Amino acid sequence: MSRVHFDPSTGLLIVALAGKLNLGRAIANVQEADRLAETHRAFTGVLVDLRQIYDTDVLSYPEMYRLVRALAQYPRLAKAPTAVVDVYRKGFEKAQFFESAASDKGHRVRAFVDYDAATEWLKEMAPAPVRELPR
């Protein structure tokens, strides 16, 4: 079962996918993340966790590209840094393809095999807090 939620301790929208993935389900998760982005406007990034997906060949490369194009319809998400975490297996090539295709469209996306490295990168990419100037 997939879970899309906001983690207030990190400021991240977490999209944790499990089971079997198809294009319709992937786009539905993008839509759910966009609804959360509207509710939690101070979110600093998106972490997509694919480590529990058991069938890595479900999305074809053309479908991955369609997913990138669908992402562009959700500006809040499209502008946010996004880390995609997968285990190193055949499917990681698709995570890398998604990174490349999304980057070509101007999105800040990186693929990782290490969850901690992904969250660290998202922290680095987070906007600096606004500081008030002394009066």
pTM above 0.85, yes or no: yes
Task: Give the pLDDT confidence of 60-109 residue by residue, as tens digits.
Answer: 889 988 999 998 899 889 899 999 998 877 668 888 888 999 999 889 99
Q: Do 85 and 113 touch, CB atoms closer than 8 A?
A: yes
Tokens 């290490």 locate to 114
What is the pLDDT at residue 59? 82
Confidence of residue 4 (pLDDT cuts 50, 70, 90): very high
What is the pLDDT at residue 31? 94
Superfamily of domain 3-125: STAS domain (3.30.750.24)
What is the pLDDT at residue 90? 65
pLDDT at 134 over 80: no
In this structure, which amino acid lies at residue 32? Answer: E
| Closest to 23 (Cα-Cα) out of 98, 106, 105 | 98
